[in-house]
Amino acid sequence: MPMHSLLFVFWKEKARSNFVHWEAMTTQTPISILVVGGGVAGPSLGISLKKLGMPANITIIEAYPKADPENIIGSYFTLQDNGADALKTLGVFEEVRSAGVDTTASNMMRGDGKVLAKMPFGNSVTVKRGKVNMILMDAAERAGCTVRYATKLIATEQKPHPTDSSKHVVLATFGDGSQETYDLVVGADGVHSSLRTTIDPQNAPAGRYVGLVNYAGVAPPPPTELKANMTPCAWNFCFALKAFILYHVRPDGHIIWGVNEPRGRVSKEERDAMTEVSARKYLIELFADDKNPLITHMLSHGPIELMGDNQCDLGNVPKWFNDEKTIVLVGDAVHAPSPTSGQGGSMALEDGIVLAKALHENPNSIGAALEAYEAFRRARVEKIVANGARMSKNKMPGKIGRFVRDLMMPLVAKCVDMAELNNWVCAYRIIWDLPLSQQPAAPTTSMRKVFFGGGAGSKKATSTQ
């Protein structure tokens, strides 16, 4: 067959398949979707579905009331390059960025303030988690989702589908006693997800305590004589003697800080008894041996926004959706990397986009969509959770470990291209215009480039010794 005829056949086939797809989409009755959780993954899914033009009635519920935009409580988190790219896909990157602070570098330090190495941190953004939640929920509402705050899902029940005996629907019961039926319920309800247990009552794992307790706060600008280690746009990671402390200077000079203390779980009674005054006193004592006046300043002033939070991760969840294929999990509900990985938020954003694409590409079968979503996501997220667990473990070495670390870190920083090392995590992109089956393979990390340079857009870290 001549080339032009071949091209014509190809064009005709493509036009036909596009038409069939379009016809299926336009004549289809909209499916009803309940998204449980207005954190990161939930609104990411809602925005993506609307952006794809999916014929669906989407309701996103959040158990907490809507926060006052001028007074958002809670701590900060950092969305790395892959998360920032997902925010661009969702159309909210600039809004998030202007609410936060750019993060492009990191300093690895000892507790006494001695810098061991300086490393690149991509083009990340550090912002209050609650602010991101609000920006995403507002965007989902603008896109056409129904958004309901102060609404808690308390029970679900499988019911036969009214017109198709091979399918089920979900009867959802809310905190106020009202009930509604949905074709699909999406559990974006975080690491302590109750829908995870609904899906798999026997085997659903609980979040695994990783051995670190978190605290976080914001301190006012320090006196001038303490401003030496105040690099702008950088996370400072300090390996102190008894705990790990990280801090980031905001453009207004305020300091965002977080502490990870290696210890056993904080019990409910212990947390209930904790006050800002008692936590502050405890933390100042914890870092006293490091004799670092900047750390003492941070812990002594400004609000403490997170106290006694047991750091958990969630690795292998056997079932991502139920047998009836009417309930599916996204974000921390199905795979929570430890906060040390700095990837939970980015993973949640990616999940929302991928599940939306899977549903859009399988307009006639929710079941096929859920299978496609899990097949596409499981390997990546489980690898990132495992990586985060390793990072959490290595945070607080003993005396010998500390000696080796202080000796080796400057050397490693000189020889290793950290951006290339993290390529597989942060250079990952979901291409909006391509179907899931045609997405490029995840970028790999080339060990040759890690040690001998040439990584994409990356530069070696610098040692300070």
Ligand X SMILES: Cc1cc2nc3c(=O)[nH]c(=O)nc-3n(C[C@H](O)[C@H](O)[C@H](O)COP(=O)(O)OP(=O)(O)OC[C@H]3O[C@@H](n4cnc5c(N)ncnc54)[C@H](O)[C@@H]3O)c2cc1C
**Using the rule CB under 6 A, is 189 a contact of ligand X?**
yes
In angstroms, what is the C-alpha Rg of the chain?
Answer: 24
Report the residue number, 222 or 344, with the smaller CB distance to ligand X: 344
Look up residue 314 and give its DSSP letter.
Answer: B
Q: Which stretch binds ligand X (CB under 6 A): 11-19, 30-38, 224-232, 293-301?
A: 30-38
CB of 351 to ligand X, least distance (A): 8
Report the residue number, 154 or 415, with the smaller CB distance to ligand X: 154
Q: Which stretch binds ligand X (CB under 6 A): 106-114, 156-164, 246-254, 330-338?
A: 330-338
Look up residue 288 and give its DSSP letter.
Answer: G
Distance of CA 432 to the CA centre of its chain: 19
- Angle of CA points 176, 182, 183, to nearest 5°: 165
Q: 254 and 128 in contact (C-beta within 8 Å)?
A: no
Mention every residue, 6+ apart, whose C-beta is less than 8 A from residue 304.
Answer: 215, 216, 217, 276, 279, 280
Q: Which stretch binds ligand X (CB under 6 A): 76-84, 261-269, 365-373, 417-425?
A: 76-84
Distance of CA 119 to the CA centre of its chain: 22
Q: 154 and 267 in contact (C-beta within 8 Å)?
A: no
CB of 16 to ligand X, least distance (A): 39
Amino acid at 268: K
Distance of CA 20 to the CA centre of its chain: 36
CB of 68 to ligand X, least distance (A): 16
User: Using CB under 6 A, which residues numbered 81 to 120 contact ligand X?
Assistant: 83
Q: Measuring CA to CA, how many Å separate 288 from each of 45, 189, 194, 306, 397?
A: 45, 38, 41, 20, 18
- What is the rounded CA–CA span in Å between residue 361 and residue 110? 50
* The pair of three-digit structure tokens given for residue 120, joined into one six-digit string: 């690149």
CB of 345 to ligand X, least distance (A): 3
**Using the rule CB under 6 A, is 339 a contact of ligand X?**
yes
- Of 31, 58, 77, 245, the one binding ligand X by CB under 6 A: 77
- Of 113, 331, 388, 410, the one binding ligand X by CB under 6 A: 331
Q: Which stretch binds ligand X (CB under 6 A): 205-213, 296-304, 331-339, 411-419?
A: 331-339
- Of 48, 214, 322, 422, the one binding ligand X by CB under 6 A: 214
User: Using CB under 6 A, which residues numbered 401 to 460 contact ligand X?
Assistant: none
Q: Which stretch binds ligand X (CB under 6 A): 4-12, 38-46, 96-104, 363-371?
A: 38-46
- Residues lying near ligand X in the complex (CB under 6 A) are found at 36-42, 61-64, 75, 77-79, 83, 129, 152-153, 188-190, 194, 214, 306, 309, 331-333, 336, 339, 342-346, 348
